[in-house]
Structure 1
Amino acid sequence: MVMTMNEYSSRHDRQIRIQKGQIHEQQRRIQVQEIQIRNLHRQLNEVGNQITKSERKSNSKERKKQLVHFYGYMSNGEAQPGKHQILVFDVVRINVGLALNKHSGMFYAPVYGVYVFTWTVVSGKHSYIYSQLVINPDPFGVIQTDSDEIGDFHAVTGTVVAELNQGDDVYIPSHPTNYIKGVIVSQDDMRTSFSG
């Protein structure tokens, strides 16, 4: 019985040594695979960086093709503007992208993007004008040009940054509800203008 126990113990020890050897071999294979995985990750990162650089160059070329710039102003002032009257900037000095319509005063976004708009309204003596920048038809910005209590002209500029989809429209109307008094001025030495 002791001999049977010793044989059993010997066989068991051999099996443990074999299993330890197998475990050691598997650990070695895992280490080799981890090294291979790290190398593959490094290669993937290099390829990803090359793709990103290539996309940046491509996007840069596309952005250059899709640049939109415009600047227009009113050739004449507006006597007694009404509420919610769209200002028409009929003198267009630059219109890259052909987005500003000089007949309607509307800007139509030719491409998706983030746009920066500025508009300046000059009020005549003893006038006050509320104006808005409106996008589809939500007001995004508002300014008040107030020279009511002074016998002089007054100019105020508003700025709006907005994300637009292709086809969105942007325009500058007088305020739809606030009372407006006096005149909007646009002449050689002071311009009521819209740009972006």
Structure 2
Amino acid sequence: MADEMKLMKNEIAVIRNLLREQIKRLTRLEMENDALKITVTKMENDNLLTKERRLLLSDAGSPSTTPLPVEPVAFYAYMSKSEPTPSNHHALVFDVLKTNLGNGYNKFSGTFVAPFAGTYVFTWTINTNPHGAHFINLMVNNAIVGGTLADTQDTADFDSDSNTAVVVLSQGDSVILRTTYNSDRADIYADSHAFTSFAGWRL
């Protein structure tokens, strides 16, 4: 009986030693695993920084090829009827509005207000009746940027004159067509076959 007890104690001692060794090994493995996690995290952070640097260098070295969205702006309007002998510095009103992308043109005042900054093209056609003449100016705010002369003073024919201007506008700039000089019996003529018209668009 005493021998059996001694044998059991020896076996228990061996098992305890093995358990201690396993605990030590497990602790060492956990420490190594933590160290590996730290190393992997550092490598991932280094890779992320490298990618960000490459993107920054790429953006700085070459311009973006993605175009900015452009809101379309365009209008076209014409007079529904003739305007008899308008006075000097009279703003022309083109009351039949067929196109108004961007809502820049006001058919009641005849004024176009630029909804966005940019380069704009304006074109207009002015008809006059026989024995009449009109100087017409394109005005940006208070500055003259274009003009036409429709002159039939010495003939019995109607006259039709057109012009085009390309101007750079800031947002909120106003554009009108107005008279500068008129002679006796100088009507601005409009009917269903001869359109006195005004149009513009942003490039």
Q: Aligned-residue CA RMSD in angstroms?
A: 1.9
1:183 matched to 2:180:
no
| Structure-2 separation of matches of 1:84 and 1:180 | 13
State the partner residue of 1:14. Answer: none
What is the percent sequence identity of the aligned residues? 35
Shift of 1:46: 7.6
| Structure-2 separation of matches of 1:180 and 1:70 | 30
State the partner residue of 1:193. Answer: 197
| Structure-2 separation of matches of 1:163 and 1:98 | 18
1:148 matched to 2:158:
no
Counterpart contact for 1:125–1:150, Cα < 8 Å = yes
Q: Secondary structure at the match of 1:126?
A: coil
Q: TM-score, normalised by structure 2?
A: 0.67
Counterpart contact for 1:127–1:183, Cα < 8 Å = yes
State the partner residue of 2:64. Answer: 52
Q: Secondary structure at the match of 1:163?
A: strand
| Structure-2 separation of matches of 1:153 and 1:87 | 19
1:169 matched to 2:174:
yes
Amino acid at match of 1:189: H
Q: TM-score, normalised by structure 1?
A: 0.70
1:137 matched to 2:137:
no
State the partner residue of 1:128. Answer: 133
Which 5+ residue runs of structure 1 have no aligned equivalent? 1-39
| Structure-1 separation of matches of 2:103 and 2:161 | 26
| Aligned residue-pair number | 146
| Structure-1 separation of matches of 2:152 and 2:58 | 61
Shift of 1:84: 0.6
Larger radius of gyration between Structure 1 and Structure 2? 2
| Structure-1 separation of matches of 2:182 and 2:134 | 8
| Structure-1 separation of matches of 2:59 and 2:141 | 44
